[in-house]
Amino acid sequence: MIRIMPPHPETWLRVTEAGLYCEPGGFFVDPTRPVDRAIITHGHSDHARPGHAHVLATPETLAIMRERMGEDRAGTTQQALGYGEALTVNGVRVWLRPAGHVLGSAQVCLEWQGSRAVVSGDYKRRHDPTCPPFEPERCDVFVTEATFALPVFRHPPAAQEIGRLLASLALFPERTHVIGCYALGKAQRLIALLRQAGWDRPIPIHGALQRLCTLYETLGVKLGPLVPATVAAKDKLAGTIVLAPPSAIADRWARRLNEPVPCLASGWMRVRQRAKQGGVELPMVISDHADWPELLATCAEVEASEVWITHGREEALIHALGQQGIRGRALHLVGRGEEDAE
Amino acid sequence: MSVPAFAELLERLLFTPGRNGKVALIRQWFATQPDPDRGIGLAALAGELNFRTAKPALLRELIATRTDPVLFAMSYDYVGDLAETIALLWPEDARSNAPPPGLAEVVRTLDGAGRGEVPAIIAAWLHALDSGARLALIKLVTGGLRVGASARLAKVALAEWAGQEVGEIEEVWHGVRPPYLPLFAWLEGRGPRPDPAGQPIFRPLMLAHPLEAKDFEALHAPDWRAEWKWDGIRVQLTAGPGGRRLWSRSGEDISGSFPEIIAAMDFHAVADGELLVVRDGEVAPFADLQQRLNRKTVTAKMLKEFPAAVRLYDLLFEGEEDLRPLPFDARRARLEAWHERARPPLSSLSPLIGFGSMEELAAIRDGARAAAIEGLMLKRGDSPYTPGRVKGPWWKWKRDPLTLDCVLMYAQRGHGKRSSFYSDFTFGVWRGEELVPVGKAYSGYTDEELVWLDKWIRDHTTARFGPVREVERHLVLEVAFDAAQRSTRHKSGYALRFPRIARIRRDKPAAEADRVEAVEALVVGSLA
Ligand SMILES: [Zn+2]
Ligand SMILES: [Zn+2]
C-alpha cells in the first residue's frame, strides 16, 4: 500500500490580490474585492464586503450582511452553513467552527487531500454572552489575526472594567457616561455585560447602533430595554449609560449631553498614549480580539506546525512562535483591521 | 487595597480634564481611604512625599530576568515609556495571593530596607498587583510619579471635602507633615487645629497683573510707586526662632539649594524679594541663576561661581507683627528701617524709582536695557499686601520685546545638526481650562537648555505622532516675540511674529501661564 503525503497547505491555499484563495475549491475566504465564490468569517466590514456572486457563511453572518449592505449587495446567492455542518466544494471539505468574536463569527476549516487549514478570521477566547465560544480545531496550518500581538496586551476581565464604569457613575451621578463602541458586536456585548452586572435600566443608544441591536434581538440575543438616545431630551440622559459609535463620543453630538464622561471600550485602551488620544476620560479595556496569551495559547492548542498571520503586529508573534517551534509566516493581507481594529 | 485605589485615582486624574471632576475624584479619596494611606496620597498629590526611592535601572533589571529581550524591545518601542512597559509586561502567571501593599507600607518599607533587599521587596509587590497598580507602584518607588493635579487643587479638594476655607488649610499646612494625621483629625472634628506657631510657614504671595494699554491710561502718577522688575526668581524669606526657610513663589521649600542665603538670615521677619546671582554688585543673567536651581547638593565651586543674593522689596512680618494689612508706603518705611538696623548679609533693597509723570516712567522703562531688568513693577502706595492675584493694586510692566508665558504642548525633531534633538516647540496659552496652541519656536535657547529640553520632552511624552511628541502640560516657556496678530494658523486664533524661547520657567506652575486674553491685549496695541 502506498502512503501518500498530504500536500502542504501553501500548495492549495494562496494569497492573491483579492485575498486568501483556495485553488482546488475555487473560492476565497473574506475577499477584499467582488469575487464569484466567497466564504465569509464574520460581518465586520473588513471581512464581509459587498458584491460577491455566491456567499457562504453562518446564517447569522448572512443576516448581518443583509442588514448592513442590503439584500441585493450581500451576495447574489447566499448559502447558510451552521456550525459543525460540513459540505464538499470541488473535493475540498468545508466546515465552520465558532470564533467567539461577534454573533455569527466562524473559523473556516478546510481539508484537502488529508491536509487541513483553519482560517480563524477574528477571534477571542473570553466569555461573551452574545455569541458561542471559540472552538479549537486541530490543523496543519492555522491562519490567525494578530491585532494585539504584543506581550503588553493582556485584557483584564471585562467584568472588572464594567465595575470601573459603574463606580464612576456612582461618583458622578449627574453626568452622562457615553461609551464609544462599534456597532457590530462590541455594542451588544457591552449591553449584555451591563445586564450581567445588574444594570437593568433602559439603555439609551445612538441611532447608528439601533439596527444591529434589533437584529441581535431577532436572532435570539436578549439585550433588555433599549431606547433611542435623543440629545434633545438630554436631562433624561443625566446619570445614564449611553452607547454610541466611537466617532460620536468626541463630537458635537456628545457635547450636547449633560457633562458627558466620554468612555471608550477597546483593547487599545491598555496603552496610555493610545487612550490619551481623542479626549477619552474613562478608558475601558474590553476587546473582541484575542490578547497576547490567548494568541499563543490558541496557536499551541490547535497543534499547527505553521501559523499564518493575516494582519496586525506579526513580528512579535512570529518571534514567540519560533520559540515554541512553530513556523510563523506573515501574509500581509491588505484592507484588514479597518472596522474592528477598535 | 490602597496601591490599587491610588492607581485608579491617578489614572482618573490623568484622563479627567475638568477641574471640578478632578476635585470630586480627590475628595472621594479623602472620604474613602483609611489613615495613614490617605495622607500619603495627599503628600504625593502635593509633591511632599519624600522617601528612599529605587533607581529605574533596578526595575529594568527585574524585568530583564523575566522577559524575552526581543519582545521587551518591541514592547518598549511601542509603549514608549519604561515604567508603563514594565507594568504591562510583568508576568502574571506568578501572581501571588498576597494582599496588595498599602501606600504607607510602601514608603515605610523602602525607608527601612537595606539596599540588597529592595529588589526582592519590589518584585513581591509587583506580583501582588494588577497592571494599573503596578504602573502606579513603579512610578512611586522610582520617584517618577507625576500627577494630573496640582498641590493647590489637592488642598482645594481637601477644603471642600472638610467644609473648610482653603485659606485655613494653607495657614496650617506648614505645621503638618505626611501622613498628616493631626490635619485629618482636625478636619473630621476629632482633634485640635494643628498649630503652625514657631514653624516657619509660607505666606501666599501677592501677585501682579500684566499692565495693558487700557489699564495704563487710567493710572494717576502720584498714586504709584515704581521698582525695577528683576529677572530672577521671586522668593519669600522666613526666619525666626522656629527656623529659617527660603520659599519659591509657589511655596516650595528651596532652602537646600541656597545654603549661603539661609546662613545669612539671622533675623526674625518674613520678607519678599528677588533671588539673583550677583557678582561684584552686578546682577548676572538669569541663566547663571538657573545653574543654582533644583540642586540637591551645592558644591563650594558653585557657591563661588554663582553667588546668590536677594533684592528685597517688601516686609510681611517683623518679629511676630503682621505688616500685611498696612499700606505699601508704610511697609516700605518699615522695610527700610528694619534693613538699616538688621543689615542682613547678601541682601539689598530694591530701590524705588522716582518719576514725575507716567510718560516719564514710560521713558525710563524703555531706556532700561540691562539684562537683569525685565521692566517695571508698579505698586499702589496705599495697597495692603493681599495674597493672590488681585487686579489693580500691583502691575508688572515688562519692557519690549513682548513676552508671554506659554505651556509646552508638542515638540518635533529638528533638522541637520539638530536632528537628534527635539528642538521645534509648539506652545499654547489657556482658554478656560483648555490649552490652545499659539505658536511654534525653534530658537532662543542655549545649547544647554536644548539638551535639558530634549531630555524633559523624552521623559514627559504622552503620545507620539511620527516625529512629533505630545508632552505633559507642565513646562512653562517664556516666549519672546515682536508682535501678536490674529490668525487662523493656530487654534488659539492668534499668531506671534518671530517667536523665540526666551527662558525656561521651571519655577512657574503651568496653571499660571498666560491666557488668550493676554494675547488679545497685546494685539490691541503696545504701550510704547
Ligand atoms: Zn478584522
Ligand atoms: Zn472582526
Q: What are the pLDDT digits (tens) for A287-307?
A: 999 999 999 999 999 999 999
Q: Tell me, yes or no, whether A1 lies in a domain.
A: no
Whether residue A13 is found in the same domain as residue A139: yes
Q: Which of B375, B398, B421 is the last residue of a domain?
A: B398
Lowest mean pLDDT among B249-253, B265-269, B279-283, B373-377: B249-253
Whether residue B121 is found in the same domain as residue B252: no
Residue A93 backbone dihedrals phi, psi, to 5 degrees: -80, 135
Residue B430 to residues B20, B215, B229, B492, Cα–Cα distance (Å) = 17, 22, 24, 9
Q: DSSP letters along A210-265, please?
A: HHHHHHHHHTT-----EEE--GGGHHHHTT-EEEE-HHHHTSHHHHTSSS-EEEEE
pLDDT reported for residue A247? 87
How many structural domains are present in chain B?
3
**In a 3-state reduction of DSSP, which class is residue A31?**
coil
Whether residue B281 is found in the same domain as residue B334: yes
Query: Residue B437 sits in a domain of what CATH number?
Result: 2.40.50.140
Q: Tell me, yes or no, whether B49 lies in a domain.
A: yes
Query: Residue A60 sits in a domain of what CATH number?
Result: 3.60.15.10
When pLDDT is averaged across residues B452-466 and rounded to a whole number, the result is: 88
Q: Which residue has the higher pLDDT, A57 or B213?
A: A57
- In B, which residues are within 8 Å of A151 by CB distance? 67, 71, 75, 88-89
Side chain identity at residue B125, one-letter code: W
Whether residue A235 is found in the same domain as residue A202: yes
- In B, which residues are within 8 Å of A263 by CB distance? none
Q: Tell me, yes or no, whether B73 lies in a domain.
A: yes
B358's enclosing H/E stretch is: helix B358-367
How many structural domains are present in chain A?
2
Q: Tell me, yes or no, whether B411 lies in a domain.
A: yes
Centroid of ligand 1 to alpha carbon of A273 (angstroms)? 23
Residues with CB under 5 A from ligand 1 (ion): A 46, 122, 340
- From the list B8, B89, B464, the residue facing A273 with the nearest CB is B464
Whether residue A109 is found in the same domain as residue A204: no
Whether residue B348 is found in the same domain as residue B418: no
Whether residue B386 is found in the same domain as residue B407: no
Helices (H), B65-102: 69-79, 82-89
Q: For residue B481, what is its C-alpha cell?
A: 516675540
- From the list A150, A168, A280, the residue facing B78 with the nearest CB is A150
Query: Residue B254 sits in a domain of what CATH number?
Result: 3.30.470.30
Report the residue of chain B nearest A285, measured CA to CA. Answer: B132
Q: Which of A267, A284, A301 is the last residue of a domain?
A: A284
Q: Which of A284, A299, A331 is the last residue of a domain?
A: A284
**In a 3-state reduction of DSSP, which class is residue B357?**
coil
Query: Is the Cβ of B81 closer than 8 Å to some Cβ of chain A?
Result: yes
Q: Where are the beta strands (DSSP E) in B124-256?
A: 209-210, 224-230, 233-240, 243-248
Query: Residue A239 sits in a domain of what CATH number?
Result: 3.40.50.12650
Q: Tell me, yes or no, whether B157 lies in a domain.
A: no
Q: Which of B86, B119, B142 is the last residue of a domain?
A: B142
- Top residue of A272, A277, A292 to mutate, by most chain B CBs within 10 Å, is A272
Answer for the pair B434, B415: CB distance below 8 angstroms, yes or no: no
Whether residue B483 is found in the same domain as residue B364: no
CA B242, CA B244: separation in Å to the nearest integer?
Answer: 7
**Mean of the per-residue pLDDT values of chain A:** 93
Whether residue A105 is found in the same domain as residue A141: yes
- The residue segments making up the domain with residue B63 are 2-142
Q: Which residue has the cell 507602584?
A: B137
Nearest to A141 by CA among A293, A290, A331, A341: A331
- The residue segments making up the domain with residue A33 are 9-152+289-341
Lowest mean pLDDT among A45-59, B291-305, B364-378: B364-378
Q: For residue B478, what is its C-alpha cell?
A: 517664556
Whether residue B347 is found in the same domain as residue B416: no
Cis peptide before B36 (omega within 30 of 0): yes
Question: Is B304 labeled as catalytic in the residue annotation?
Answer: no
Q: For residue A180, what is its C-alpha cell?
A: 464609544
- From the list B85, B92, B463, the residue facing A152 with the nearest CB is B85
Whether residue A41 is found in the same domain as residue A108: yes
Q: Tell me, yes or no, whether A17 lies in a domain.
A: yes
Q: Tell me, yes or no, whether B147 lies in a domain.
A: no
pLDDT band of residue B527 (cuts 50, 70, 90) is: very low
Q: Tell me, yes or no, whether A310 lies in a domain.
A: yes
Whether residue A277 is found in the same domain as residue A307: no
Whether residue B415 is found in the same domain as residue B471: yes
Q: Tell me, yes or no, whether A276 lies in a domain.
A: yes
Whether residue A325 is found in the same domain as residue A251: no
Q: Tell me, yes or no, whether A135 lies in a domain.
A: yes
Whether residue A75 is found in the same domain as residue A194: no
Q: Does the distance separating the beta carbons of B81 and A273 come in below 8 Å?
A: yes
Q: Tell me, yes or no, whether B461 lies in a domain.
A: yes
Q: Does the distance separating the beta carbons of A319 and B71 come in below 8 Å?
A: yes
Answer for the pair B3, B136: CB distance below 8 angstroms, yes or no: yes
Whether residue B215 is found in the same domain as residue B334: yes
Whether residue B226 is found in the same domain as residue B318: yes
Whether residue A121 is found in the same domain as residue A229: no
When pLDDT is averaged across residues B266-291 and rounded to a whole number, the result is: 88
Query: Is the Cβ of A277 closer than 8 Å to some Cβ of chain B?
Result: yes
Lowest mean pLDDT among A275-279, B32-36, B422-426: A275-279
Q: Tell me, yes or no, whether A111 lies in a domain.
A: yes
Q: What is the DSSP letter of B266?
A: -
pLDDT band of residue B369 (cuts 50, 70, 90) is: low
Q: Which residue has the higher pLDDT, B293 or A181?
A: A181
Query: Is the Cβ of A339 closer than 8 Å to some Cβ of chain B?
Result: no
Write the pLDDT tens digit of every residue in B187-226. Answer: 999 999 988 777 788 888 999 998 887 888 889 999 999 9
B430's enclosing H/E stretch is: strand B422-431
Write the pLDDT tens digit of every residue in B489-514. Answer: 788 888 887 788 999 998 899 999 99
Whether residue A148 is found in the same domain as residue A16: yes
Q: Which of B348, B379, B398 is the last residue of a domain?
A: B398
Write the pLDDT tens digit of every residue in B380-413. Answer: 999 999 988 888 999 998 877 788 999 999 999 8
Whether residue B376 is found in the same domain as residue B488: no
Give the pairing of strands A77-80 and B434-441. Answer: unpaired
Q: Tell me, yes or no, whether A312 lies in a domain.
A: yes
Side chain identity at residue B166, one-letter code: V
Whether residue B333 is found in the same domain as residue B472: no
Whether residue A61 is found in the same domain as residue A164: no
Write the pLDDT tens digit of every residue in A175-203. Answer: 999 999 999 999 999 999 999 999 999 99
Q: Tell me, yes or no, whether A4 lies in a domain.
A: no
Answer for the pair A151, B71: CB distance below 8 angstroms, yes or no: yes
Q: Which of A284, A303, A327 is the last residue of a domain?
A: A284
Q: Tell me, yes or no, whether B425 lies in a domain.
A: yes
Q: Which of B22, B139, B229, B440 is an active site residue?
A: B229
Answer for the pair B319, B268: CB distance below 8 angstroms, yes or no: yes
Whether residue B382 is found in the same domain as residue B409: no
Q: Tell me, yes or no, whether B197 lies in a domain.
A: no
